[in-house]
Amino acid sequence: MRLLNAIQFQHFRGDLFGGITAAIVALPLALAFGVSSGAGAIAGLYGAILVGFFAALFGGTPSQVSGPTGPMTVVMTTVFTALVARHPDTGAAMAFTVVLLGGLFQILFGVLRLGKYITLMPYTVISGFMSGVGLIIILLQLPPLLGYMSTGEIWGVLVQLPTYLTQPRPAAFGLGLLTLTIVFAAPPKLNRIFPAPLLALIVGTLVSMLFGENPEINRIGSIPSGLPTLQLPTFALSELKDMMVYGLMLGVLGSIDSLLTSLVADSVTRTQHDSDKELIGQGIGNCIAGLLGGLPGAGATMRTVTNVQAGGRTALSGMIHALVLLTITLWASPLTTIIPHAVLAGILLKVGIDIIDWGFIKRAHRISLKTTGLMYLVMALTVFVDLITAVAVGVFIANLLTVKKLSDLQSSRVKAVTEPTNELSLTPLEQSVLSEAKGRILLFQLGGPMSFGAAKVISQRMRIVKDYEVLILDVSDVPMLGVTAALAIETMVEDAVKKRHHVFLVGAYGGTQQRLGRLEIDRFPEVHQVENRLEALQTALALMQSSEPIPIPNPRQ
């Protein structure tokens, strides 16, 4: 794996326009996410610059543009609020240390090549999780929209929300409504030329100047205009466990967020990203952001699609996007001091509403009540508990439901008969042999992949039939045999051998043969391997009818 991406200039014009356009879209969002997190607008800008540049330089998705995103900011808001409240002097430094830890976890995921597994998550869980994140953003932005400062905690907002709704501050609320009108009503043609969030930012800020120094309007205020300074990692022994958990939360969430955006980039550009390299690139970006006081980031879908539509194709576009934001931060930061919080809240409210998976919510109840229930459970846990718990519980329950469905399907492929039946596709000759045996041959057939879900039904089927002299175990239609199912078969064979019954193992090949071979199923002289079912039936019948030993064919000899 090549760590550093080669800088290519064959698409320079498209990359230049793509990077500039993505930066224009990213600017208001970076400011808004920074203010929303509690770390300040400059932290949002630094996060967009640092994660955007280094994730492009080291990542595995050439056209992807990275920076602070809604889900990452939601976690960072919780981290920053909690640590600063408990440690007023060092809490901010500890919060940025958590960002560093999140980046290290992402690098570890990439080194361990876990990229292809991270996005193997049921859509129900992803939908509930993303909708929950959207609700969190909406709830946290309602106070600034109405003219109040947000506490950064969902429960705190919910407690105060009735007061905010009944006593809004007119000037701030008016600016917020103006912003919402612009971001929702901007025509698509205008949005392509001049992004609605930036237009809302400019218009809302200019209108706010008409109110003068109105105490109802909270503004960003002065932000640093120079280069970021080094934030040395800061730990507290009492907070170490929580910091590691928060870091893991950022790492997992950033990985999921980035790789989902990578899939979107692949579909738009008709290319194929490198998941593990992307995780390493995102991790490096977040590590540097943590060391220099920036918000954590991930691949941003809207900015990535904007970049591609404007012509961006290589990593150079993401790097140009970061350099444009750096230029704005160094030279135009005084202009951002007058931006009202209500305007940023209006922009983020649109982001939160867009994140909610409305399309799936409308249709989920038609698909399955269990699916609907799981989605709403994940959504509720995301809003009222935390994101990692929501994902963990959602994946666990989704996997249980899937295992149950697979077990039911596998159970239907387990057949045990002593007489000809329509349940098995027996040839006329096989039916004749089985009829002639008069119930003394037990034909046990398995079909399809056999996992641990099938082990129980294998044992149940064997207990039903007790009077037989020969067991024919047909596994010719089993492409995959799990350990638990294999152990159930071993128990079945051992029980037959203890009763001095002959056992014929039919059609074991590939992985199934290897699995049974490792268990040494044929260690008993009564166990014989044959190629096909008819051969097993005929040999078994001859064995029962003859007093002389019958030569048993063994394909391995």
The answer, yes or no, to whether residue 396 has pLDDT greater than 50, is yes
Q: Which of 21, 14, 5, 13 is nearest to 302 (CA)?
A: 21
- The answer to whether residues 190 and 161 touch, using CB atoms and an 8 Å cutoff, is no
Question: Is residue 363 classed exposed, middle or buried when 0-12, 13-18 and 19+ CB atoms within 10 A define those classes?
Answer: exposed
Greater confidence (407 vs 233) lies with: 233
**Helix (H/G/I), strand (E/B), else coil: 251:** helix
- The answer to whether residues 269 and 205 touch, using CB atoms and an 8 Å cutoff, is no
Confidence of residue 480 (pLDDT cuts 50, 70, 90): confident
Average pLDDT over residues 321-340: 88
Listed in sequence order, the residues at least 6 apart from 48 whose beta carbon sits closer than 8 Å to its beta carbon are 26, 27, 29, 30, 67, 68, 294, 295, 297, 322, 325
DSSP 396-423: HHHHHHHHHHHHHHHHTT-EEESS--TT
Q: What is the average pLDDT score of the chain?
A: 87
Amino acid at 417: V
Average pLDDT over residues 469-477: 88
Tell me the range of 10-14, 40-44, 417-421 where mean pLDDT is highest.
Answer: 40-44
pLDDT at 551: 53
Q: Where are the domains of the chain?
A: 12-219+241-361, 412-545
Q: Which of 120, 134, 119 is nearest to 255 (CA)?
A: 119
pLDDT at 280: 96
- The answer to whether residues 373 and 420 touch, using CB atoms and an 8 Å cutoff, is no
Tokens representing 134 are 């959207």
Rounded (5°) CA angle 469-473-474 = 140
Question: Is residue 448 classed exposed, middle or buried when 0-12, 13-18 and 19+ CB atoms within 10 A define those classes?
Answer: middle
What gap in Å lies between CA 134 and CA 383, rounded to an integer? 9
Distances (CA, A) of 260 to 215, 266, 360, 374, 487: 42, 10, 17, 21, 39
The answer, yes or no, to whether residue 422 has pLDDT greater than 80, is no
- The answer to whether residues 93 and 291 touch, using CB atoms and an 8 Å cutoff, is no
The answer, yes or no, to whether residue 423 has pLDDT greater than 50, is yes
Instruction: Express each pLDDT in 28-69 by its tens digit.
Output: 999 999 999 999 999 999 999 999 999 999 999 999 999 999
For 298-307, 425-434, 516-525, which range has the lowest pLDDT when averaged over its residues?
Answer: 516-525
Instruction: Express each pLDDT in 93-149 by its tens digit.
Output: 999 999 999 999 999 999 999 988 877 778 898 889 889 988 998 999 999 999 998
Average pLDDT over residues 209-231: 84
What gap in Å lies between CA 287 and CA 347, rounded to an integer? 28
Instruction: Express each pLDDT in 356-391 by its tens digit.
Output: 989 999 988 888 888 899 999 999 998 998 877 888
Confidence of residue 554 (pLDDT cuts 50, 70, 90): low
Number of H helices, E strands in the chain: 23, 7
Instruction: Express each pLDDT in 135-190 by its tens digit.
Output: 998 999 999 999 998 777 888 889 999 999 999 999 999 999 999 999 999 888 88
Q: Which of 37, 35, 23, 121 is nearest to 72 (CA)?
A: 37
pLDDT at 316: 94
In the chain, what is the straight-line distance between the N-terminal and C-terminal CA atoms, in Å?
A: 46
67, β-bridge pairs: 298
Greater confidence (259 vs 420) lies with: 259
Strands (E), 132-254: none
Name residue, tokens 């540049």. 53
Question: How many residues are given for the chain?
Answer: 557
The answer, yes or no, to whether residue 550 has pLDDT greater than 60, is no
Average pLDDT over residues 442-466: 78
What gap in Å lies between CA 271 and CA 262, rounded to an integer? 10
- The answer to whether residues 374 and 128 touch, using CB atoms and an 8 Å cutoff, is yes
* Percent of the chain surpassing pLDDT 90: 42
Phi and psi angles of residue 540, each rounded to the nearest 5 degrees, phi first = -65, -40
pLDDT at 548: 47
β-strands 502-506, 298-299 pairing: unpaired
pLDDT at 297: 96
Q: Kindly report the number of other CB atoms within 10 A of residue 550's CB atom.
A: 14
Assigned architecture for domain 412-545: 2-Layer Sandwich (3.30)
444, β-bridge pairs: 416, 473
The answer, yes or no, to whether residue 456 has pLDDT greater than 80, is no
Q: Kindly report the number of other CB atoms within 10 A of residue 8's CB atom.
A: 13
Q: What is the pTM of this model?
A: 0.78
What gap in Å lies between CA 262 and CA 426, rounded to an integer? 50
Rounded (5°) CA angle 407-410-411 = 85
For 82-96, 109-123, 286-300, which range has the lowest pLDDT when averaged over its residues?
Answer: 109-123
Confidence of residue 298 (pLDDT cuts 50, 70, 90): very high
- Helix (H) / strand (E) element for 110: namely helix 91-111
Per DSSP, 219 falls in state B
Confidence of residue 8 (pLDDT cuts 50, 70, 90): confident
pLDDT at 389: 85
